[in-house]
Amino acid sequence: MAGIGRTAAQCASVRFAAALMVLGGATVPAPAAPAIRGDQIALAPHRAIYDFTLARASAGSGVTDMSARMVYELTGSPCEGYTQNMRFVTRATTPDGGTSINDLRSSSWEEGTGKTFRFNSSQLRDDQATEGTSGDAARNQDEIKIELAKPQKKKTAIAGTALFPIQHSRELLAAAQREESVFESDLYDGSEKGEKVYATTAVIGRIKPDNYNANLPAVENSQKLSGLKSWPVSLSYFEPGKGQADAVPTYELAFLLFENGIVRKLTLDYGDFALKGDLKSLTVHETPKCEPKGR
């Protein structure tokens, strides 16, 4: 998501299909519409709350029960850039009956063309700070230069082909609009002390009927999703440099992605255990005006 957690995905949509027009009694193909690109997609600003429950846990996971709440907010536009804020609080119960509360808070800003990315995150366990990460990343033609402030000051660089979270979400949506079934890209989101690049593979399912949302549980403002197209998506994160055909994902996300960028029916799969998330509240913000440059 651009980021739910690691960003889940946001978008606006145009669906492409073959079209026929009747002219003089003969049918001829309409001119093909140009394929949509990620940088043509404007994301819908919104605030969403998700509640999670434990979907499964293996015997060796060290977890017998878990619940969580995620509050996610996206604001901005392609002109002013996008800001993401997320708080994810989990409460886990261990086999000996003990409990642990983990509180992850993150915020980021990404320039509309994906040239710069600022990020900051902190994590608390049982009200005690455990780690924090902050830094800036700037893209040039060949590489992305990263300057970290936390957990320690450091300068590094990664390949310029990696996408930032909002870029990744927009490109994923563009792939769905183009009716592609697989989208692959490296992703840099500032996680893992700001030095991690993930290889990602998204499998995009068949488009759902326009009325699909009406059959899902009603929640506050969920009617704003009615009539919108949506796709089931499974997004896997891999260690970079490994053959993904044989590699086991570090973790996986699954979600229902609507054409305005809002998601429902979340699953977070960490291997040893998985969480199922349901949308509980939705607020759709007014989309800022975004005038083309030069006006």
pLDDT tens, position by position, 241-285? 755 566 788 889 999 998 888 899 999 999 899 999 999 999 999
pLDDT of residue 24: 33
In this structure, are residues 200 and 250 in contact, taking their beta carbons and an 8 Å threshold?
A: no
Which of 21 and 145 is assigned the larger pLDDT? 145
Which of 156 and 32 is assigned the larger pLDDT? 156
Rank 25-39, 168-182, 244-258 by mean pLDDT and report only the highest: 168-182
CA distance 136 to 73: 20
In this structure, are residues 114 and 163 in contact, taking their beta carbons and an 8 Å threshold?
A: yes
Which of 17 and 265 is assigned the larger pLDDT? 265
pLDDT tens, position by position, 119-136? 999 999 988 888 899 999
> pLDDT grade, residue 42 (50/70/90)?
confident
> pLDDT grade, residue 144 (50/70/90)?
very high
268: its two tokens: 């977070």
Question: Where exactly are the structural domains of the chain?
Answer: 36-111+160-284
Residue 7's identity, in one-letter code, is: T
